[in-house]
Chain A
Amino acid sequence: MEIAVASGKGGTGKTLIATCLARVLADDNPVLVDADVEEPNAGLLIPHQPIKAWPAFRPVPSIDLNKCTFCGKCAELCRFNALVVLEAEVMVFTELCHSCGLCSYICPENAIDEVKHKIGVIEESDLASGGKLITGRLLVGELQSPALIKEVRESKRLESEIRVVDCPPGTTCPAIESIRDSDYCILVTEASLFGAHDLELSIDATKLLGIRTGIIINRWQGDDGEVGIIAREQGIPILMRIPFSIELAKSYSRGENPLDAMPELHHILQKVIEQVKESVA
């Protein structure tokens, strides 16, 4: 089973929930996947021992000028304008390339090879609590985060019964790439106007993907507000409410795991997992 922890708005507590879930699931040997490759933070909140790391690549075209006749077909067909063919030169704009492979396939002279372009690093660690942490770290300046997210999500897939994915914020391609193959999506939100607005967008996204969804309200202050209305209207369960606590915010700021600052979370999260398992079964 794979549980994605996502939210439209940033900073609602995705990483906090994902790392706590991994600890609560410790006996099941979980794999915690940090798919927020632009700003991977899961490792900052859960003790772990790095095991190994490897680079991640995506293919981009490389032109053999000895074979190229400068016919221009590659540039004409590239929908991303990543190639410009001049009289005796071909310019490749790696940033714009989506690694689809069309240019290399259609080149009449077989003059285009694909070479590896590094987009980031994948790190594998043992969690002190049990299980593994897989982190994707995008190279600063790289645009194509979904390619790295895809690779991170596939790492160790076969070796784990249960996976928790810490997703990037938002509702567009990086978020979708992180959530898409999950069995269940937990949307972490706040009961504020921003939280409610972004929650609705996230629900649209999980509906589009056909993934079962539940809500956790973080920094709850006694009122579900508009989030409660949205949950009712959309028929989505509120799995849990984490009361606002300045102590929790302070311990989080020091990088302490909330399960240590609020031990009662353990039992509540176990119940959340039971609800998720029932819903998926």
Chain B
Amino acid sequence: MKELLVLSGKGGTGKTSLTASFVSLADQCIACDYDVDASNLPILLKPDKTQGQEFSAGLVAVLNKDICIECGLCRDLCRFDAISSEYQISELSCEGCAFCAEVCPVEAIEMQDRSSGRWFESNSHVNGKLVPIFYAELRPGEENSGLLVAQVKSAARKKAQQEGYSLLISDGSPGIGCPVISSLVEASLVLIVTEPSVSGFHDLKRVQELLELRGVKSILLINKADLNLPASQAMEKWAQDNGIPVAGRIPYSKELAAVVSGGQVPVSQPELHELILPVWQKIRKELEKVN
């Protein structure tokens, strides 16, 4: 089983629109959305409604005011400023470390499981085929996004193993932090979708640095390439110098933006299909090469 993971560093470069397109073009695959903060792949792939499963990770401190003697020890020791002067515990600030509960002289603090979000297993009907899709929603303000990503990934991989799917196509999060690092586990190839801007280039280099650190191979796609042709060329040169294959360029397209805005997968339109298909063929070739 292979996994193509789509990353970008900078947000808004077109990860989700392209991921949905590749899911549509692939023969058979499972789709995953690891952007558990703001999951957008289901907007395009329109999975059947499912209940979802509770995701609980970590703990939250709950203080019993009837027992509390207001000695202030917990407040002094909490590194996350989660306990107010009135001994209210802020669920948003609490890291779940249990320092307060362990030191409380009267055992007024109890650690409880916190519900962090939900994850979903469903089916999408894309381009005449059925595609299992896995995604999640972390509740606003929650942490443990990395663990939720791991949960989504492991559920998807299990399904792939059981039902003989050989390809996972996954939409990643922006940035290079916790959820991105978690999504790299067992990824076969990372497609970096960038745009030819100073920010796009800066962020792309940081993603690549992370991939090298983690030993994951990458391939580059320059989206909205004609917005700045010299920058696109500079990016391709940089990729070449660093031994990164280039899947191609996709020009800026008002039509693509409009199609996605209407909730459609870009390759459902013939002109966009023509633009994106060669890129997908190149990525598929590169996928065949990796282990």
Contacts and interface: CB of A to CB of B under 8 A. Distances in A.
Interface of A: 8-12, 15, 36, 38-39, 41, 44-45, 77, 79-80, 98-102, 105-106, 138, 140-146, 168-176, 180, 191-194, 197-198, 201-202, 204-205, 208-209, 225, 246, 249-250, 252-255
A173 B143 CA distance: 5
B175 A169 contact: yes
A203 B16 CA distance: 22
B99 A102 contact: yes
Given A39-B9, A41-B198, A225-B261, 11 more contacts: A11-B12, A12-B12, A39-B199, A79-B97, A143-B177, A146-B143, A170-B38, A171-B38, A172-B141, A204-B140, A252-B197
Contact of A79 (B16, B59, B196): B59
B77 interface: yes
Interface residues on B, range: 35 or more
A152 to B, nearest CB: 14
A171 B141 CA distance: 6
A252 B257 CA distance: 18
In this complex, the member of B8, B175, B263 whose beta carbon has the largest number of chain A beta carbons within 10 angstroms is B175
A9 B11 contact: yes
Contacts of A10: 8, 10-12, 174-175
A173 B140 CA distance: 8
B95 A100 contact: yes
Contacts of A250: 227-228
A138 B140 contact: no
Contact of A249 (B142, B209, B252): B252
A79 B141 contact: no
Contact of A208 (B92, B96, B98, B214): B92
Interface in B154-198: 173-178, 180-181, 195-198
A172 B98 contact: no
B203 interface: yes
Contacts of A192: 257, 260-261
B58 interface: yes
Contacts of A145: 177-178
A176 B261 CA distance: 27
B95 A105 contact: no
Interface in B255-291: 257, 260-263
Given A10-B11, A194-B43, A253-B195, A208 B141 contact: yes
A172 B196 contact: no
B43 A173 contact: no
A99 B143 CA distance: 15
A69 B93 CA distance: 34
A100 B175 contact: no
Contacts of B146: 143
In this complex, the member of B92, B174, B177, B261 whose beta carbon has the largest number of chain A beta carbons within 10 angstroms is B177
A100 to B, nearest CB: 3
